[in-house]
């Protein structure tokens, strides 16, 4: 009984300390990136502490420029999906005083990110942003955007950027329907043209990439691109 009482005292002290001082878990950049791409499946609040861990680890300092841009759209996707979770994440960051992350939230708060995205011409980088928005929210409207790009520009022969936007969307869709059951289920129910659906479902992403390179080569030989 005495040992049990001592244990309870120690445990209560631990809980009190945990409430006053955040314990930031150590995580590798590889695991962190994997968690980002599966966040939409569980929307775990622990992600924000993993973000802090990466930004406070000097080992990853050189990677933060690229990660800043990715997290800008990732947190924006969370804001649109769940404002309460977004506000909680922002509060945790400000209390931790990680200035670089505070700057990201300031950009989201002071700019119309949605309008910015609407004004962009189709391109492969924009496709990556819409996948980021999907991974942060699980909202299939972002998959719809990619399907629209594929339907509209899969046979583009004049504008190389539109062609690459469609082909990169096809490649990423082929990859992600093999990785995420949610993406595959939605894709199968979508309004994508049947010939494209069959091609994306049954063509290896590496083969798609090779076919894209070959088509661009032929277009350049013709003096079109």
Angle value at C-alpha 168, between 39 and 200, nearest 5 degrees? 85
pLDDT(1) > 70: no
State whether the Cα torsion 71-76-78-79 is positive or negative: positive
58 DSSP 8-state letter: G
Cα 177 from Cα 185, distance rounded (Å): 8
Tell me the DSSP string of 59-87.
Answer: GGGGGHHHHHHHHHHHHHHHHHH-HHHHH
- 132-190 pLDDT, tens digit per residue, is 999 999 999 999 999 999 999 999 999 999 999 999 999 999 999 999 999 999 999 99
| Residue ranges covered by each domain of the chain | 27-115, 122-221
In which band, very low, low, confident or very high, does the pLDDT at 24 lie, cut at 50, 70 and 90? confident
pLDDT(104) > 90: yes
Cα 34 from Cα 46, distance rounded (Å): 14
Place of tokens 């050189």: 62
pLDDT(122) > 80: yes
pLDDT at position 11? 38
Q: Of 205, 180, 193, 201, which Cα lies nearest the Cα of 150?
A: 193
């Amino acid at each position: 009984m005495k040992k049990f009482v001592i244990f309870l005292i120690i445990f209560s002290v631990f809980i009190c300390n945990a409430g006053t001082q955040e314990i930031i878990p150590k995580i590798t950049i590889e695991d962190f990136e994997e968690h980002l791409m599966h966040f939409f499946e569980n929307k775990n609040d622990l992600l924000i502490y993993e973000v802090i861990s990466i930004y406070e680890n000097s080992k990853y300092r050189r990677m933060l420029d690229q990660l800043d841009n990715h997290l800008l759209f990732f947190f924006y996707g969370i804001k649109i999906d769940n404002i309460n979770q977004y506000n909680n994440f922002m509060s945790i960051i400000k209390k931790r005083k990680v200035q670089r992350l505070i700057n990201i939230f300031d950009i989201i708060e002071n700019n119309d990110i949605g309008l910015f995205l609407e004004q962009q011409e189709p391109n492969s980088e924009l496709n990556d942003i819409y996948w980021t928005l999907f991974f942060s929210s699980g909202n299939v409207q972002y998959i719809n955007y990619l399907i629209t790009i594929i339907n509209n520009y899969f046979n583009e022969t004049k504008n190389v950027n539109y062609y690459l936007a469609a082909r990169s969307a096809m490649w990423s869709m082929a990859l992600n329907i093999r990785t995420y059951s949610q993406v595959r289920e939605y894709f199968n129910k979508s309004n994508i043209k049947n010939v494209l659906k069959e091609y994306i479902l049954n063509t290896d992403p590496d083969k798609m990439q090779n076919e894209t390179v070959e088509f661009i080569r032929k277009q350049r030989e013709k003096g079109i691109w």
